[in-house]
Amino acid sequence: MLLKDLIKEGTHIVSASFPEREAREMVLAYLESVAGVRRHTHLVYPDYEIDEVITESVRAACKRMSGGEPLQYVIGKADFYGRTFMVNPDVLIPRPETELLCREAITRLKAKGVSSDKLRILDLCTGSGCIAWTMAMECPGAEVVAVDISDGALRTASTQNFAGEMNITGAKAPCFLKADVLNSAELLEDAGSFDIILSNPPYVMDSEKSLMRANVLDHEPHLALFVPDDDALKFYKAVADIAVRILSPSGFGIVEINEALGQETAAVFIDAGFSDVFVLKDLSDKDRFVMFSGHK
């Protein structure tokens, strides 16, 4: 089958759930990721043929995506901070916004001139492990501890493979622990102190489900997404309670937040006793993070 015809057919199939331009991009991305066919190949070589095995693979993938399944789950991976992470329905697909959280933490560390091999970093609600692994790789020698309550998420996070980079840089793999962030006593036992606390916890209110795209709502894990409207800040209260007890005096924390609750989330950390608390915006100028430090 001609590649250009397969792209046309696949785009038509995926368009059942996605806008046509997005559907076409998904088909091209699948071909490049799984079959090694460059995006421009059908333009440079109009008569380029695809063998039957790849053709059937593309058709099967397109049928999955036509049902709303995200491309990243279909190909089993997602890019984050210049690295490729394994993903599956046990974990959220890493978002570009969360890259900003890591970038902000790394920028702040460089400004402080802290030696990586003396750092202890805690990642709460780790999911795929994208924050934990990014911090571990970008701060070679740092001790990174990552926590989640989901067995599936911990399996995925702990099996991310960056052995090649670790061998070159001396970075250490994060330690992944099962614990409930909402039960701080379980988490804090023999934890020691940490220089940085990071978290992208569940923060989408149940009432906001109707605003979400179906491919997210139907396929990504609700455990990692949603909180009840009447207790929408419960994870931030838990993070603040943990940070009060184990964040080092010179340390800092950053949490990703619901854009509608920026000031309310900041107030949680102010009420917990942190003197330096402020809201950071994302690239769309929306309230996206709260940074905190200076516990009294």
The string of pLDDT tens digits covering residues 234-246 is 999 999 999 999 9
Write the DSSP symbol of residue 162. Answer: -
| Top CATH class, 3-75 | mainly alpha
Closest CA to 143 of 124, 123, 129: 123
Q: What is the pLDDT of residue 34?
A: 85
Q: How many CB atoms lie within 10 A of CB 216?
A: 15
Write the DSSP symbol of residue 260. Answer: G
Q: What is the pLDDT of residue 39?
A: 85
C-beta of residue 10 within 8 angstroms of C-beta of residue 62? yes
What residues does CATH 1.10.8 cover in the chain? 3-75
40-78 CB burial, b ≥16 within 10 A, e <16? ebbeeeeeeebeeebbebbeebbebbbebbbbbbbbebb
Q: What is the pLDDT of residue 186?
A: 67
Side chain identity at 47, as an amino acid letter?
D
C-beta of residue 179 within 8 angstroms of C-beta of residue 186? yes
What residues does CATH 3.40.50.150 cover in the chain? 81-295
The confidence band for 185, taking pLDDT boundaries of 50, 70 and 90, is low
The confidence band for 5, taking pLDDT boundaries of 50, 70 and 90, is very high
Kindly report each contact of residues 266-270 with a partner whose C-beta sits within 8 Å and lies 24 or more positions away, as own/partner. Answer: 266/290, 268/233, 268/236, 268/237, 268/240, 269/236, 269/240, 269/243
Q: What is the pLDDT of residue 125?
A: 97
Closest CA to 150 of 185, 125, 174: 125
Residue 4 has pLDDT above 90, yes or no: yes
Q: Which fold does the domain 81-295 belong to in CATH? A: Rossmann fold (3.40.50)
Q: What's the N-to-C CA distance of the chain in angstroms?
A: 68
Lowest mean pLDDT among 129-133, 164-168, 200-204, 210-214: 210-214
Q: How far is CA 291 from CA 51, 89, 165, 276, 280, in A?
A: 52, 29, 29, 8, 7
| Averaged pLDDT of the chain | 94
Name 49's bridge partners: 2
Residue 211 has pLDDT above 90, yes or no: no
Average pLDDT over residues 95-108: 96
Residue 110 has pLDDT above 90, yes or no: no
Lowest mean pLDDT among 59-63, 72-76, 117-121, 239-243: 117-121
Average pLDDT over residues 56-77: 95
pTM over 0.85: yes
Q: How many CB atoms lie within 10 A of CB 10?
A: 25
C-beta of residue 13 within 8 angstroms of C-beta of residue 63? yes
Q: What is the pLDDT of residue 217?
A: 87
The confidence band for 191, taking pLDDT boundaries of 50, 70 and 90, is confident
Side chain identity at 200, as an amino acid letter?
N
